[in-house]
Amino acid sequence: MAPTVTSKPARPGYGQLLRTPGAWTFLLPGFAARLPFAMLIISIVLLVQHTTDSYGIAGAVSAVTGVSMAVFGPLAGKYADRFGQRTVLIPGVLLHTASVVGLTALALADAPLWTLFVAAVPTGASVPQVGPMVRARWGVTLNGSPLVTTAAAFESVTDELTFVLGPLFATALCTSVHPAAGLLTEAGLTLVGGLLFAAQKATEPVPARRRGGAEAGADALADTGAETGTAAGTGVRGVNGAPARVEHPSALRVPGVRVLVVAFLGIGTVFGGLQVSLAAYTQSIGEPGLNGVLYGVFAAGNMLAGLVCGALAWKSAPHNRLVLGYLALVVTTSGLWAAQSPVLLAGLGLLIGMSIAPGLVTGYTLVERLVPPTARTEAFTLLTAAVALGQAAAVTTAGQLEDRAWDGAGFLVPMGGTALALVVLVSLRSRLAAPAVERTVARGVGHRTPVPVD
């Protein structure tokens, strides 16, 4: 008999991932619905700066948008887990489109500043949480496959591809067509892409309210392991043989998720600080069109590093990789304030982007280990919201520094934000370590294919 060469599982890779049945049905519309998000903040900054001649005001309005998204986004994720993605997404898309159009009209009409801040609230609150929804669909589609980490890397790459194209597209529209063209295009793309994504019913995770008590209880116990006191396992009860009742606690009850939120807050300060500071820098040298190019180089570095992260077979523990990647991020952002040429900024931006990718990929991978299926969309949304909140704080602070201090002072924001987050991450990294082992033990089987990437 000829020797068998298929006894050893193939190493996870992008080709294998993209051949997953049903994947393309949500990937393509998901990308179309995510691209507008990468255009939103920079489009607000460019429009409001044009109408008010102040980066401080532009940053503040953008910050209100980001804070609103950070507050309401996790609620949208939680409701999507509980009631279904379509139930939350369709009204959210319609509200977001109307809110963006309203904000644009107010800015162009030179309305009182307070009206811009009011309009920014529903604009941010209604941002469709398509990225977390796509990640939740991968979790259901792969169902514990070794490709989970590869999917996390792929999603990071997809995010960064949108952040390569989005700012370039928005900047080109705002500087070449009309200052409002970026926001109006964002609204149109959100409407079309969001509705197309919502129409993909086959891959939508089953809402928690439709799951049977025994099935949901088994998922909760299996995925929380010995950490049942902190996650959904606490909701499994039975009285006199009656079916178990499963509660739906917040993903924030998982200690490791709270650590990841802080880490992603720091990453958000990089995105926000760079967006405002690069816009101010390119304006100061008379080349506003370079803004999208420089930010695109930064996002391209993130995208390329994300590809590598997903292709490698990692030996180190993911929480250790997160700390090392974050340390590299702090080091690279520390040189921004001294860079005084587009070439230097592009080079540093590339290195910063390459340092961000390991943190994003590893953070989203850890969610699969820490959080039960009934709360994963919420957990993914919490991380996205943390980035938005960090971004909001950064655009406000960087905008004020650019208005009131020296040119380039806004570049100090990414360095400070990541340094503070690194301190917290190093201090509490043990909270990210244990559940990976406990989860395997809790399932009580030796039949799962080992995950070589971790």
- Give the CB-side neighbour count of residue 376, counting CA atoms within 13 A: 30
* Residue found by looking up tokens 């591809």 in the block: 161
* Three-state SS at 331: helix
Cβ 267 vs Cβ 360: under 8 Å = yes
- Cβ-proximal residues to 325 (8 Å cutoff; 6+ apart), any chain: 355, 356, 357, 358, 359, 362
pLDDT at 248: 56
- In whole angstroms, give the CA distance from residue 236 to residue 343: 57
pLDDT, position 181: 93
- pLDDT of 97 reads 95
| Amino acid residing at 101 | V
Q: How far is CA 151 from the centre of its chain?
A: 14
pLDDT of amino acid 235:
39
- The token duo for 104 is 């644009």
One-letter amino acid at 32 equals A
User: Is 251 within 8 Å of 399 (Cβ atoms)?
Assistant: no
Q: Are 12 and 151 in contact (CB under 8 A)?
A: no
Residue 36 DSSP one-character state: H
pLDDT along the chain (454 residues), means of 10: 45 77 86 86 89 85 85 84 88 94 94 93 91 84 76 77 78 89 93 90 77 44 35 40 52 80 89 83 79 78 76 68 86 82 86 84 78 76 83 82 76 89 86 52 34 37
Q: pTM for the full model?
A: 0.67
Residue among 386, 422, 384, 168 at smallest CA distance from 278? 168
Q: How far lies 362's CA from each of 77, 183, 368, in Å?
A: 20, 32, 10
- Tell me how long the chain is: 454
Query: How is 98-155 classified by DSSP, letter by letter?
Result: HHHHHHHHHHHTT--HHHHHHHHHHHHHT---HHHHHHHHHHHHHTT-TTHHHHHHHH
Q: Encode 242-257: b = buried (16+ Cβ within 10 Å), e = exposed.
A: eebebebbbbebbbbb
Query: Residue 302 burial by CB count (10 A; 0-12/13-18/19+): exposed, middle or buried?
Result: buried
**pLDDT value for 375:** 75
C-alpha 229, offset from chain centre: 27
Q: Could you count the other beta carbons within 10 Å of the beta carbon of residue 101? A: 17
